[in-house]
Chain A
């Protein structure tokens, strides 16, 4: 499934989107809701408890993804010295409305896929399985995003290389599993392709694209996002009763 996670990082400039984009987005959401409902029904008929657990985890992941999308989107938006609350609200929601749901859905899918893949591969993830580590991972992820926005690099290659190194460091620090790496790469590739398609179709655009139509560091962000969300998903799948303590 194509995932739209975290494009918000990039759409700093666009504030209006065409009706075509609206249509596309609504279609996509429709499709996703259909798929999730089908999945839910299928699982619900099989195992009620498991389904409830799955839905709960999915909801949590969705919330986290949407929230992170909203917040990180703000990082991209130009700073204004704002005084009026109305303006803040408009800033907050100045990006397209479909970004948080898409990111949330993507997060839910990836976050559920990770433990699922682990169990299928028969390699349960044991490395640093605790909430403190997960929080650290999220913080590093936000930091990578922050760096991608705030840092002034000489050229884009340097920026992309740095971010790639950071993403790999993130994976090495918090994941260190083959499945995590593979899924992260897959996520990054798919998401980048999807973003390319979106930009190609004119849904939004980047101010200074340097990698076909998008920024070259986008895959790194997607990769680290995938690893982070996978980390959360695994912890949720393991922790069961524990809730992430963030939003």
Chain B
């Protein structure tokens, strides 16, 4: 064995053990994995969140110094971007201007014309300000940020934005900083509007840029109630000079003092901008992501054969993503800061890590044999793929290692991430994904179990009984062998997801609500935004139509080339001349550093008590905050300066308050403004009018919106009727309260396991027999019915009176619905007969039977009166009313039976039944045992008669009346019939057939007329039943149980013994003694397993070949009522309502299930791991491996009905159980699939 093979084996074994571990403890492992993911991702919290929002940092102005490039030792809370000089310093001069006192002779234009005009003089002031001290002379020109050309492609901005000079922005830029142009402009608003972009704009508009405050705060409009105009002059400085700025501030404050201004000016804010991703970069990125998603899509599409594809795909994606997060988190934890752009390398990392392993795992697991246990499947799947997984992983690690040695930093970092990501991905695959997969596989098996066969065609749809999925708390399991299944949350998920979504939608009317909410929000937005939109629209309209506007509209001054702020030939340029010959002598626009701003001259604009009060608030302090966060980046981007990953410093604003006298306002008027001076009163009315129009339009818009909503709603109602989402009539009719909802509030669908009710018997079912194809049942009334187990059709009805010349099918009578004065049929009721009671369990009280079963139409035989009575029996017939028949018939049965469990009602039955009892006593005896092979029904009667009936035709083929004692049990094997009698004797019959018996593969219901009436039994001689041997004293006491299998006949009796006979020669092989009570249950199957249970509660396992007792256990307090064996275990149920599961080889009790009181007498094993028990009106399915209740199927409408006493498991994985007078056929189709 080479090293490679040894390694391979070891890896495989390790994976196998790991798979077992994962599948056994899913919840702890998932918890552990989640915890480790969270732990590894914890360092990520310290990383900055992705986003393009700017970050701010505030410092004081006084001790400000340009931060150095090198990171200093103790930075405190200083962010790491705060290094080196900023791109620019922004100094804003915030101007608030108003005309005061407001005069009635003024026109609306005066509100902003003269205040805007003041900008030019302020600009002059700022431009020409010179500060000189000992270190030299500084003017704005030396400090400001010099810009060159505008970015190519911004030609239309050329007329307004400065080029080749200082970056100094103000509203004056609209007029090229020339007062003359401003004065000549007939319509200021139009000039401003002209540059606004059309349509939606998200970034800063030109108006915002120039005014420096958001548009609605400027006050530049005709409807400025406050009559205060606000704008800023923004100076962008390249270097910071505290003295110059201080003197400028002092100068401006001195010129235009703000009386009540208390703005703080000691903080400067540094704003750092993140890298902004342009669309040009975005497109490749988006493409990468699209490819990534396509990859994920195509990968996860291959996941198949699992319960929830989406769930697994999600788990796969979660695995990969969280492994990436873990890798980043771990790398950060160990001190490696990611420098790569995470968004860019992320898709490549995903592609490198890949989803392949996950898919391979899934495929491998789902391709393991389906009938294995889930744990084993997971383990096998894992170990099958272990070698390839390890090989791939090693290869990838090698490749990445090679990449690491390229010694390129970026590649090295990528490789580091990839290695950690790969390892953590492996970890997650092994722990997280495997566990999820095991849960999914387990769920799939459960779902398999719950799926129902498609409804058979041609069958009248049986009324599906309400199905209840009941979550009972797991039964107490004292044994250490029990394995905890997952929490109920995992097991509840039995509904298909889409169904659940549909239910959810239907229940909450989610779609409707979403549409409604959406419409409401939409109306809200409409109402909220539209008035504004209408407002601006109207404003534009009014300004166009207003008499103030230029009717020609063409009064735009031809735009000259934009004048730089410093006009080239301007002799007043303060650059070279010092001190400049300032045209304004008072106060001098320059300051000397040492004598400061001492010359505070008398202010020409002494503020009178202003009517429009100019107030300075805290919001003005940092007015730039109200601007778009892209304001500054867009301003700089016009000059091809990027702010990405850089910062700017915003200096405290300089407040300037300007009060203008009305005379000044009138002086600065444009002739067009005054040409039609609207009087004050009409102006107000116009104002009102526009307001009215505004409201009118708003109301109209609202009305239109409401109308639209109504229309939409109607449309929706037309398209989607009310029962939207509740597809199917059954669902539509169902109320929420009808069905119990599971934890999620979802009602289970009907169609998962719905029992097929076979109706027709009028009384409780007494005997059941089946050979897989056909099912024979006999009720207390003695009526034998033959059913098709595939479709549930009633094929034949054999009434108690024996063969009749003509009879009608049960359905025929039922369907014809003939009620009335008719002669009623099977009135002859069997007497119960003495002896051992066949039914060990207390029969439910009969009144409930009749309450439940009003449908007694099968009792009515319309043809009966017209037919001559059969020669075999003379049925006593009574003409009595319908209810009386049934009532009496029941009591006739109960009263004479010396049952060990006498019905209390029988004693108090009406005396009127005495006659009936007598009549029945001499009539036909009841059927005590029933067997079905091929198409022959063997019926053993209480009179000791053995009858052979043709199951299909319903004709009596043979009667043997050799024995005198009632037949308590029958076994029909091959061509032999074994009958156990009440007196303890055992009769062996041989059925001889002249023509082959022919296992009739009878399927499908015959038509009503297809069964010919057969008045005479012409084929009677064909089948004969010969008594070959009679063992007279097989047992001392009545034989209670008779089982035959594998050529052996096993009888159990009241005399505490079990006898084993050979079928061929009726030879008694063994008498097995060991029980201390009567035998109540025996199990024998083809593998010669023999188990017996007695009234003492003991269970014995015997070796049939040697007759020795293998094991002997006491398991029940009381009788053992039922025994079933599987390959590995023995299941017993007792009168103590306990179901015990024993290990067959060791006889150790694995666990027991405590059932509800009064249920669970009958047992059946569908497959190795699926147990079915009958309960009160329900059958329950149990997982034998874990002892968990899988599902409870309710048989009838009322759950408090009869218990299921007999339960037959058919080959096609159907379960037949009796349910009062009905039979239930429950399909468990998935088991059939599993057997394949």
Interface residues on chain B, number (Cβ under 8 Å)? 43
A interface footprint on B614-658 (CB within 8 Å = 1, 0 otherwise): 000000000000000010011001001011100000000000000
Residue-wise, chain B 256-285 has the 8 Å CB interface mask toward A (1 for contact) of 000000000000000000001011110110
Binding-face segment, A17-25, A44-52, A86-94, A203-211 = A86-94
C-alpha spacing A22/B283, complex, angstroms: 27
- A152: chain B residues at CB < 8 Å are 408-410
Mask for B406-440, Cβ within 8 A of A = 1, else 0?
Answer: 10111100000000000000000000000000000
Docked Cα-Cα span, A140 to B403, in Å, equals 14
Q: Residue B406 contacts which of A84, A130, A158 (CB distance < 8 angstroms)? A: A158
Within 8 A of B (CB), among A197-222: none
| Distance from A230 Cβ to chain B, minimum over Cβ atoms (Å) | 17
A72 contacts B by Cβ under 8 Å:
yes
Closest to B278 in A: A82
Q: How far is the CB of A243 from chain B (nearest CB, A)?
A: 11
Chain A contacts with B in 148-195, Cβ cutoff 8 A: 150-154, 158, 162, 165, 169
Tell me whether A143 is interfacial, beta carbon within 8 Å: yes
Interface status of B1111 (Cβ within 8 A of chain A): no
The answer to whether residues A245 and B408 also contact, given A87-B153, A139-B288 and a CB cut-off of 8 A, is no
Q: Is the CB of A75 within 8 A of B284?
A: yes
Please determine whether A131 and B298 come into contact, CB atoms closer than 8 angstroms.
yes
Identify which of B284, B291, B298, B351 contacts A130 (C-beta below 8 A). Answer: B298
Q: A81-B642, A158-B408 are in contact. Are A74 and B637 (CB under 8 A)?
A: no
Does B969 sit at the interface, judged by CB under 8 A?
no
Is B961 an interface position by the 8 A CB rule? no
**Residue among A71, A80, A140 making CB contact with B351, cutoff 8 Å:** A140
B203 at the interface (CB under 8 A from A): yes
For B288, give its contact among A142, A162, A247 (CB under 8 Å): A142
Measured CB to CB, the nearest residue on chain A to B197 is A84
B274-315 contacts to A, CB under 8 A, are 276, 278-281, 283-284, 287-288, 290-292, 294-295, 297-299, 301-302
A136 in contact with B295 given A150-B344, A153-B408 (CB within 8 Å):
yes
**A138 within 8 Å of B (CB atoms):** yes
Report Cα–Cα, A143/B352, bound state, in Å.
10
Interface residues of A in 124-152 (CB under 8 A from B): 130-132, 134-136, 138-140, 142-143, 146-147, 150-152
- Given known A-B contacts A79-B278, A139-B288, A146-B348, A86 and B153 have beta carbons under 8 A apart: yes
**B residues 228-250 in Cβ contact with A at 8 Å:** none
User: Most chain-A Cβ atoms within 10 A of its Cβ — which of B203, B302, B355, B406?
Assistant: B406
How many Å from the CB of B384 to the closest CB on chain A?
19
Given contacts A74-B280, A74-B283, A86-B153, contact A81 B297 (CB under 8 A): no
What residues of chain B lie closer than 8 Å to A75, measured between beta carbons? 284
Residues of B near A92 (CB, < 8 A) are 280, 283
**Is there an interface contact between B292 and A139, defined as CB atoms closer than 8 Å?**
yes
Any B CB within 8 A of the CB of A241: no
Min C-beta distance of B158 to chain A, whole Å: 14
Q: Are A79 and B295 in contact (CB under 8 A)?
A: no
Assess A246 versus B290: contact at CB under 8 Å? Given A81-B633, A132-B302, A158-B408: yes
| Chain B residue at minimal CB-CB distance from A88 | B279
Interface of B is mostly: helix
| B278 and A162 contacting across the interface, CB-CB below 8 Å | no
A145 CA to B268 CA, complexed, in Å? 44
Bound complex: CA A27 to CA B588 (Å) = 73
Q: In the bound complex, how far is the Cα of B351 from the Cα of A81, in angstroms?
A: 29
Main secondary structure of the interface of A (DSSP, over half): helix
Q: Decide: A151 and B294 in contact? CB cutoff 8 A.
A: no
Contact mask for chain A residues 99-115; partner B; CB cutoff 8 A; 1 contact, 0 none: 00000000000000000
User: Is residue A77 within 8 Å, beta carbon to beta carbon, of the partner chain?
Assistant: yes
Q: Do A81 and B153 have beta carbons less than 8 Å apart?
A: no
Q: Mark A232-247, 1 if CB is under 8 A from B, else 0.
A: 0000000000001111
Given A88-B278, A158-B408, also A132-B283 (CB < 8 A): no
Identify B153's interface contact among A72, A90, A146, CB under 8 A: A90
Q: Is B1158 an interface residue (CB 8 A)?
A: no
Taking each of B153, B292, B351, which has the highest tally of chain A beta carbons within 10 Å of its own beta carbon? B351
Report B566 CB to chain A, min CB distance, Å.
28
- Interface check A121, CB cutoff 8 A: no
Given A130-B298, A152-B410, A162-B406, check contact A139 B351 (CB 8 Å).
yes
Q: Are B279 and A82 in contact (CB under 8 A)?
A: yes
Judged by a CB distance under 8 angstroms, whether B612 is at the interface is no
Q: Which of B284, B355, B399, B643 contacts A72 (CB 8 A)?
A: B284
A91 to B280, CA, bound (A): 7
CA distance A198 to B630 in the complex (A): 42
Question: B153, B280, B297: which contacts A79 (Cβ < 8 A)?
Answer: B280
A83 within 8 A of B: yes
User: Shortest distance in angstroms between A74's beta carbon and chain B's nearest beta carbon?
Assistant: 5
In the assembled complex, the Cα of A48 lies from the Cα of B642 at a distance in Å of 57
Is A135 within 8 A of B284, CB to CB?
A: no
Top 7 nearest A-B pairs (CB, nearest first) are A135-B295, A132-B298, A131-B298, A132-B299, A139-B351, A82-B278, A143-B348
* Sample of 5 further A-B pairs with CB below 8 A, known A71-B284, A152-B408: A86-B153, A132-B298, A135-B291, A140-B351, A150-B344
A positions within 8 Å CB-CB of B: 67, 71-72, 74-75, 77, 79-88, 90-92, 130-132, 134-136, 138-140, 142-143, 146-147, 150-154, 158, 162, 165, 169, 244-247
